[in-house]
Amino acid sequence: MELELFVDADACPVKDECYKVAARHGLKVFLVANRLFQAPRHPMIERVLVPQGPDVADDWIAERADARKIVVTADIPLAARCVKAGAFVLAPNGKIFDDSSIGMALAMRNLMDDLRSSGEVTGGPKGFSPRDRSAFLSALERCVQQARKRMAPG
């Protein structure tokens, strides 16, 4: 089985970058969402439309995540599930989630969620910048290279 790229496509700001890197490396891309969206018509790009509901897209991705998958998501709980399954996982801003970083990311997410639930005004996420886009491209390229090394026989 070949290396594949799974994109948590709802509100993903780096889909075009995913297409470029995937085309360069011959990767199949699965865009997973629970609503219709535009995507290029290409045999290596597949739109996966899942039913509406909490975590349905996340479940679809997590159930298929393994060492031959790269997952792009800003969803920290989904990232944790995919890291546990052995996938390479990165956020749209280029942050790579792995065994050493996912615990802190989950703890911070839960802390911020608790603060917001108690009425604390925490502000939203910072805007997506050209620097984030560049960091993502570099991180995705590194993930592809590392995944290919890991998959190589021997």
Report which of residues 36 and 123 the model is more confident about: 36
Per-residue model confidence as pLDDT tens digits over 113-134? 666 677 766 665 667 889 999 9
How big is the CA angle at 16 (ends 10 and 21), to the nearest 5 degrees? 120
Distances (CA, A) of 99 to 10, 79, 83: 25, 11, 7
pTM of the shown model: 0.85
Angle between helical axes of 76-84 and 102-117 (0-180°, round to 10)? 150
Phi and psi at 47, nearest 5°, equal -85, 130
Per-residue model confidence as pLDDT tens digits over 1-15? 689 999 999 889 999
Tell me which residue of 69, 68, 83 sits closest to 151, measured CA to CA: 68
Identify the band that residue 142 occupies on the pLDDT scale cut at 50, 70 and 90.
very high
Q: Mean pLDDT over residues 43-67, rounded? A: 94
Domains of the chain, with CATH numbers?
4-151 (3.40.50)
Identify the band that residue 80 occupies on the pLDDT scale cut at 50, 70 and 90.
very high
- Name beta bridge partners: 4: 28, 69
Q: Determine contact, residues 39/47, Cβ cutoff 8 Å.
A: yes
